[in-house]
Structure 1
Amino acid sequence: MADLVVAPPQQPTDLFGEPIEAHPPWFKPEAFLRADFDPDAYVADLRSYVPLDSLAAELRSHLAALRAELVGLINRDYADFVGLSARLKGVDAAAARMRAPLADLRDKVAAFRAATAAALAALRAGLEQRASATAARELLELLLDTSHVVSKVEKLIKELPIAQPDSSNVQAISGNKGYSGNAITPPIVDAGIDVRETQSILLERIASEMNRLKFYTSHAQNLPFIENLEKRVQGATKLLDGSLERCFVDGLEHRDGKVVYNCLRAYAAIDNTSSAEEIFRTTVVSPLIQKIVPQNYAKAVAGVSSDDLEDDYEQIMQFVEKDCKFILEISSSANSGLHVFDFLANSILKEVHLAVQKGKPGATSPGKPKQFLKNYKASLRFLDFLEGYCLSKPAVAKFRSEPAYADFMRLWHVAVYFTLKFQDIAGGLDSALTATITPVGMHENQTKPKILLLKQSIKLLESLQACWSDEVLVFSHSDKFLRLSLQLISRYTTWLSSGLATRKSSDGSSNSPADAEWALSIPVEDFIYEYARNLRSLGIDAREIESFRALWQCVAPRDKQDNIQF
């Protein structure tokens, strides 16, 4: 069969030879090829400006073009299409021959997959068993270590009373067969080291083991074995606390720095800093503080001891410098790990707080303002003295954040003190403003010339000076004293403005406010006299002053004319 040769269709052109578009611009055949083509949306979009008949005609035209293109493609490859059946002879037999090996391969792959899954399951089971065995071994080792540490601590504690205050027994301890070749052998000491230091070193070692024991028990809680060891652990803890307390007290009494250092490291190891701070407070601080401030409320009430704390603080500071400085230096030494202790707040300041509270309860009472302010300022100086032992800003911040510091500051009711001073100062000015007005010098003998004419003005000045005097002001409440000063000035301004307004608008009637009647009883020359003084102090123009000079000479008495200086 001869191949059919079909010439490609010629595209129509215009007069200038340019191809003419087969479809209008709104018809895009490539839109049909998009994967997200939606016929309903396509028709709805075109029908707003294209008639449906035109759209149908274009679709039919496009269908005819597609069919013509399909026929052209078949005609182009017609020979291959016709000869395809001849080339496919024997394909079924070849496919049958390939089916058997492929099936065999599929069976082998399935068997291998099943074997692999079984091996993987077995491997996972083995890993789980290994993990559980490892966890069980670790737990067993933890329990064994816990039991070993408990036994070690008990043995070390039992060896503590063996030490005697002579060098031969110290050597006997170091060579005791119970410690030979053992990991718990205490450090070998020279014959010159006394027993206190030996015990303190051993106690530090025991405290380290107790810390390790605490770590073990925290990781093996709720286990029967640990619960059975609980009584032994509590007994060892009690014996350690007692022995450590006796050694620490002995070191404090003898001022043995090495013993105190070792005991503090032991307290830090078992995380029991509060016990060391309390022992130092009761052993060293409390007896000396009670000598300075006896904690006897009956004597305080009877007046045997005064409420003045300034001298007491001086003695306490001398005592701290003499008897407490050594432990403060030890606890703040570099790279010692003893920064966790705060003897300043929890030992010294706490005891001073108790002494003031019990021995001199009236010293912190705002009912005696002068005494209260004096004691409060002395207390602040004492706190500054204690902060001088802090070697850094973080240490100062830590000292101020301690509960003992906050409790001591709560002793001083500065807000109540300010309230009393407010009532005193503001009430005094208010009483002066509501009293009958009397110019200074009119009925009293004055030894010194007064800058202000009215007693109320003098009272205002005295009140303002009182707010900022050293005998009244508390710097922590300076904002409140500033507000009080402004309130005093405002009260005086209101009083004076009310009087001047009454004076200006008075027509002799009795309808004037009661608090402004004072203005009606003051001679006019007193107002001019007071105003002229203010002119000079404010730097008013000289011509205005000359005008008031003439007015003054007309109305003022002869004695006041001599006193004023224009």
Structure 2
Amino acid sequence: MLDLHSPSLPSRSAAELFGDPSGDSEPLWFKKSSFLRPDFDPESYIADLRSFVPLESLGAELRSHLAALKSELVELINRDYADFVSLSTRLVDVDSSVARMRAPLAEFRDKVASLRTVLDNSLLSLRGGLHQRAEASAAREILERLLDTFHVVSKVEKLIKELPSTLSHGSGVEIDHVEKNILGSESSLHPAENGTNLGLTQSILLERIASEMNRIKFSFSNAKDLPFIINMEKRIQSATELLDHSLGCCFIDGLEHPNSGLHVFDFLANSILKEVLFAIQKGKPGAFSPGRPTEFLKNYKSSLTFLGHLEGNCSSRSVVSKFRSQAIYADFMRQWNIGVYFSLRFQEIAGALDSSLADANITLVEDSHRNRDCQVTLTLKQSFALLESLRTCWSEEVFIFTCSDKFFRLSLQLLSRYSTWLSSHLVAKNACSSDSSSNSERAINKPVEDFIYVMHDVGFLVAELSGDYLEHVLRLLESCSSEVLDLVRRGFLQAIRSLTDYLPILKDRMVEGISERSVEDLKQLKGISATYRMTSKLPVRHSPYVSAILRPLKTFLDDERVAYLSKELKNELLHSIAERITSRYHEMASDVVNLARKTESSLLRLRQGAQRRAGASSDAMDSNISDTDKICMLLFLDIQEYGRNLAIFGIQASHITAFRSLWQLVAPEDRQAQISF
């Protein structure tokens, strides 16, 4: 190929490359031979050239070439003009020549047509013969197949009749007759050999029958629409059923007798279980997905039931162990992703409890979930969520035995989480934080009546979890060893004991809260000293504040929430509150009396000093009643009223140590021996 960019070639101008209209030479890109090619396409030709040749240059070159062609045509005509003109003179008597040629051609055409007709007739006859031959061959083939099917069916029926029904019902005559037909031997078996050879004889006969039945099934599948085959369908079906029954009996007999050799192959694992696994993977692959836990658990338990049924066919524990050691068994169990299932259940159960415990406020259970009988069910949403979560862990719809340790650990975690909520949101002390908006401060500011719900729920949970709930868990784990069951029992009881430890704290919080309300009224006791100091007035009735001391206790007992407390717990709280109030009463009264005595002693010393300096007698002063005596007289009247108020609540004041001390403090000497109102 000519290289336009080769340095050895002389340089050319654009006019030489793209054509010069004034010159005689043609450009290199214009090839006249292209117009003579059979596949010449004007549009493609122009499209190829216009990428590097201007359309004006291309049009000019084409017009120039057209003019050259016309000029060449004129030159050719002029060159052979004499021959062209003389052509008409040489064409003389053309019609007669044509007539002479027509007759032979017509004759030749008739011969060809006649020969073609003969060939068509021969070909048609040949095709008809071939068709008849094919039909005859097909009919013969069908007939042979029908005859073969008939003979095979008859043969199978004959063999089935000669087949011993079971190993246990065989006889020496039957065995001898069968072996004559099968082995071609006329010798009879020895009676001692009957039991040994009957199974082998039956197996060989069944193998022959099964082989013949395959031939029948092949013939039936290729000619099932023929009337002859249709009429034999019942016979074929009957033979098939008899063969299947005999094969099943033989197979079962082989499995029951080890002298058979079938025990070498593990049918349970490598046949039944393998096919079941393949069928599940192919027909219902979603059965192994733990994404839908409820359906997954149902399928998993069904599979365990199926495996248990298979293991029930094992003759000994060693056979069961061998079955479980098979690779297909491990593969089948590996399909059930129990770890993912437990993770989903963990998020579901723990998440529900965390959502409830996220609220620091005490929230009552909705009426639809709560029985009005407070002794039967829970009251708080948080407690209800805990019990529901714990029950869910060991419910039939969630629990899986293979995850027993995980569900046990989850149960302990749930109890620990609830205990943490009690500690941080309900009984926390506010001394650790000065932030009034903290959880501790909010817990302190809660009404003490709300802690009735907490005490009730904690008591209910302790009784429920240590009773029926624990027994339910132990029943689910009864197949475990006694050591495991003991660990589970101790673990649950220890976790339940952590809840029990909060009962005294809750009780103390309630006693403290109600007592502090009564102390607000007891503070009026400090005004007694100012009332009876430096006056001759003697008290004749109790102070007004006494009636208000036990008013918070009465308000507490009248609250409807107290109905959630048991009678024993309510009496215990009542006595504890009374003892706490009485103790504070005794402390404050002691402070008042002691302060009055100190003040009186100081005043007495000052007066005595002044009297001695004045030379006066102190007998007149000594005959007056002291301020301390008047204060004690009033306090004595007050505690008598207080004791009567305690009796209204069914509390005997004399049984309270602090009340007895208070009585000894303010009662007159003649009344100190016996407490009476």
Q: Which has the larger radius of gyration?
A: 2
TM-score with structure 1 setting the length: 0.41
TM-score with structure 2 setting the length: 0.35
